[in-house]
A and B are shown apart, each in its own frame.
Chain A
Amino acid sequence: MPDLTKTPAVDEPEVVLAEAQAGGKVLDGGEANGARSLWSDAWRDLRRRPLFIISSALILVVLLMAAFPGLFTSADPASGDLTKHFLGEPKLAHFFQEDWFGYDRQGRSIYARTVFGVRNSVMVGVGVTLLVTLFGGLVGMLAGYFGGFWDSLLSRITDVFFGIPFLLGAMVVLNAFTNRNVWVITGALAFLGWTQIARVMRGAVITTKHADYVMAAKALGAGTKRILFRHVLPNAVAPVIVVATIALGTYIVAESTLSYLGLGFGDDAISWGADISDATNDIRNNPHTLIFPAGMLSLTVLAFIMLGDAVREALDPKLR
Chain B
Amino acid sequence: MGRYVARRLLQMIPVFIGTTLLIFLMVNALPGDPVKALWGDKPPDPAQVAQIKHDRGLDLPLWEQYLHYMKGLFQGDFGKTIAGNRPILDEITQAFPVSMRLAAMAWTFELVVGITLGVIAGIRRGRIIDTTVTMFTLLVISIPIFVFGRGLQLVFGNELGWVKPTVQDSENLEQLILPALVLGLVGLAYVARLTRTSIKENRSADYIRTAVAKGLPRRRIVSRHLLRNSLIPVVTYLGTDIGALMGGAVITEGIFNVTGVGNLLFQGIARREGAVIVGVVTVLVLVYLLASLLVDLLYAVLDPRIRYA
- B244 at interface by CB-CB < 8 Å: yes
A283 touches B269 (CB 8 A): no
A: interface residue count bin: 35 or more
In the assembled complex, how far is the CB of residue B74 from the closest CB belonging to chain A, in whole angstroms? 19
Binds A, one of B19-27, B51-59, B60-68, B86-94: B19-27
A6 touches B142 (CB 8 A): no
Known: A256-B144, A283-B150. A5 touches B248 (CB 8 A): yes
In the assembled complex, how far is the CB of residue A128 from the closest CB belonging to chain B, in whole angstroms? 16
A15 to B265, CA, bound (A): 33
- B197 at interface by CB-CB < 8 Å: yes
- B213 at interface by CB-CB < 8 Å: no
A2 to B247, CA, bound (A): 14
Binary CB contact string for chain A from 247 to 258 against chain B (1 if under 8 A, 0 otherwise): 001100100110
Q: Which residue of A lies closest to B271 (CB)?
A: A175
A173 to B23, CA, bound (A): 10
Q: Kindly list chain A residues whose C-beta atoms are within 8 Å of the C-beta of B14.
A: 156
Binds B, one of A138-146, A157-165, A227-235: A157-165
In the assembled complex, how far is the CB of residue B14 from the closest CB belonging to chain A, in whole angstroms? 6
- B240 at interface by CB-CB < 8 Å: yes
In the assembled complex, how far is the CB of residue B27 from the closest CB belonging to chain A, in whole angstroms? 6
- B143 at interface by CB-CB < 8 Å: yes
- B207 at interface by CB-CB < 8 Å: no
In the assembled complex, how far is the CB of residue B205 from the closest CB belonging to chain A, in whole angstroms? 9
A2 to B248, CA, bound (A): 11
Q: Which residue of A lies closest to B184 (CB)?
A: A3
Listed residue (B22, B141, B198) with the most chain A CB atoms within 10 angstroms of its CB: B141
Q: Kindly list chain A residues whose C-beta atoms are within 8 Å of the C-beta of B186.
A: 1-3, 6
A172 to B26, CA, bound (A): 7
B187 touches A6 (CB 8 A): yes
- A126 at interface by CB-CB < 8 Å: no
Binds B, one of A37-45, A63-71, A79-87, A297-305: A297-305
A249 touches B142 (CB 8 A): yes
A26 to B266, CA, bound (A): 49
A305 to B288, CA, bound (A): 27
In the assembled complex, how far is the CB of residue B56 from the closest CB belonging to chain A, in whole angstroms? 20
B244 touches A165 (CB 8 A): yes
Q: Kindly list chain B residues whose C-beta atoms are within 8 Å of the C-beta of A166.
A: 248
Binary CB contact string for chain A from 164 to 184 against chain B (1 if under 8 A, 0 otherwise): 111111011101100000000
Known: A163-B15, A171-B269, A172-B30. A319 touches B197 (CB 8 A): yes
Known: A6-B186, A156-B15. A294 touches B285 (CB 8 A): no
In the assembled complex, how far is the CB of residue B201 from the closest CB belonging to chain A, in whole angstroms? 5
Which chain A residues numbered 286 to 316 have a C-beta less than 8 Å away from chain B? Answer: 290, 294, 297-299, 301-302, 305-306, 316
Q: Which residue of A lies closest to B125 (CB)?
A: A319
- A4 at interface by CB-CB < 8 Å: yes
A164 touches B18 (CB 8 A): no
Q: Which of A167, A260, A273 has a CB less than 8 Å from the CB of B248?
A: A167
A164 touches B250 (CB 8 A): no
Q: Kindly list chain A residues whose C-beta atoms are within 8 Å of the C-beta of B252.
A: 5
Q: Which of A156, A159, A169, A318 has a CB less than 8 Å from the CB of B201?
A: A318
- B194 at interface by CB-CB < 8 Å: yes
Q: Which residues of B contact A (CB under 8 A)?
A: 11, 14-15, 18-19, 22-23, 26-27, 30-32, 138-139, 141-147, 150-151, 154, 158, 183, 185-187, 190, 193-194, 197-198, 200-201, 204, 232-233, 236-237, 240-241, 243-245, 247-252, 254, 262, 265-266, 269-270, 272, 277, 281, 284-285, 288-289
Jot down 11 A-B pairs with beta carbons below 8 A, ordered by A: A3-B251, A4-B145, A164-B23, A168-B248, A175-B270, A261-B251, A283-B150, A283-B151, A301-B142, A302-B142, A319-B201
10 new A-B contacts at CB < 8 Å, known A2-B186, A156-B14, A273-B144: A1-B141, A3-B183, A3-B248, A15-B198, A164-B285, A167-B250, A169-B23, A261-B251, A294-B144, A318-B201
